[in-house]
Amino acid sequence: MTTEHSISVLGATGKTGRRVAAQLRNEGHRVRAASRRGPHRFDWDDQTTWNAVVRDADGIYILPHEAPGGNERLATFTGLAANAGVRRLVLLSAREWTDLGLTESLEREDIVRDSGLAWTILRPVWFAQNFSEEPFFAKGVDDGELVHGTGEGRHPFVDVRDIAAVASAALTDERHAGQHYALTGARAISVEEAVAAIASATGRTIRTRALDADTYREYLHRHYPPEVGDSVVTLSERIRSGQDAYLSDGVQRALGREPRDFSEYVDEATNAGVWGR
């Protein structure tokens, strides 16, 4: 099916947006890939770039702006989208935000639900692709030693390809309107098990070093902005406690199939040569 209108994808150079845009194009939809560096310039910090993203858009994939004032901007943006006749919004949220009751993050969901437009909320857990595309894990894999704060706790890392598949479905099929989809992988594994799978597939030696929360926070603060470090430590502690190992059924409910297994991600990334040798 091809839509006459476009679908706008925010964060289109990022881990999820890139794949959402690709999947929609493969399905024959017209896509506006929007971000600061993308083909359609969109900047949360520059409101003059917003109109071009909402104009003639049937649906919008929203990656929220996690910065001070980001929620106010989101509210203005969804108002603009409603006035422009956009029909559907799909918001990337996170399962941890509901589990931990993070008020400011959850306000984004309220804003989208209150937009007056059809909405779908995606609540993924940590991405499998963090091991190849998100520095706090990927750099450790590259360096041959991944430092982490999750102890022996397990987590059901979700494949970003599944997030993109659910987002694409929600952007094009009204049956997903009004749904919250908590998205996980097929099984929960520890960081040590994840790294062992990558080491085995690539033939590389990769160590893991588990730190307690305070030492891990100090480590992260040496390498990343404090807010990034603090958020990684908070979720790491939840994983360490075992409370975050549970599976959710959003992929099954949205797509009628099982989630991709972590091993499929590892094989695909290995074959693509993302970890070198």
Ligand X SMILES: NC(=O)c1ccc[n+]([C@@H]2O[C@H](COP(=O)([O-])OP(=O)(O)OC[C@H]3O[C@@H](n4cnc5c(N)ncnc54)[C@H](OP(=O)(O)O)[C@@H]3O)[C@@H](O)[C@H]2O)c1
Stretch that binds ligand X, among 11-19, 21-29, 76-84, 204-212 (CB under 6 A): 11-19
How long, in residues, is the chain? 277
Residue tagged 């990769």 (tokens)? 206
Site for ligand X in 24-43 (CB under 6 A): 35-38, 42-43
Pick 139 or 175: Cβ nearer ligand X = 139
Please report how close the Cβ of residue 205 comes to ligand X at its closest, in angstroms: 25
Q: Is 126 in the site for ligand X (CB under 6 A)?
A: yes
- Pick from 11, 140, 153, 156: which binds ligand X (CB under 6 A)? 11
Contact stretch for ligand X (CB under 6 A) within 125-133, 172-180, 259-267, 269-277: 125-133
Binding residues for ligand X restricted to 81-120, rule: CB under 6 A: 92, 94
Residue holding tokens 């998100």?
134
Pick the binder of ligand X from 39, 45, 116, 175 (CB under 6 A). 45
Nearer to ligand X, 124 or 151 (CB): 124
Residue least distant from ligand X (Cβ):
14
When asked if residue 15 is in the footprint of ligand X (CB under 6 A), the reply is: yes
The contact set with ligand X (CB under 6 A) reads: 11-17, 35-38, 42-45, 63-66, 92, 94, 124, 126-127, 130, 134
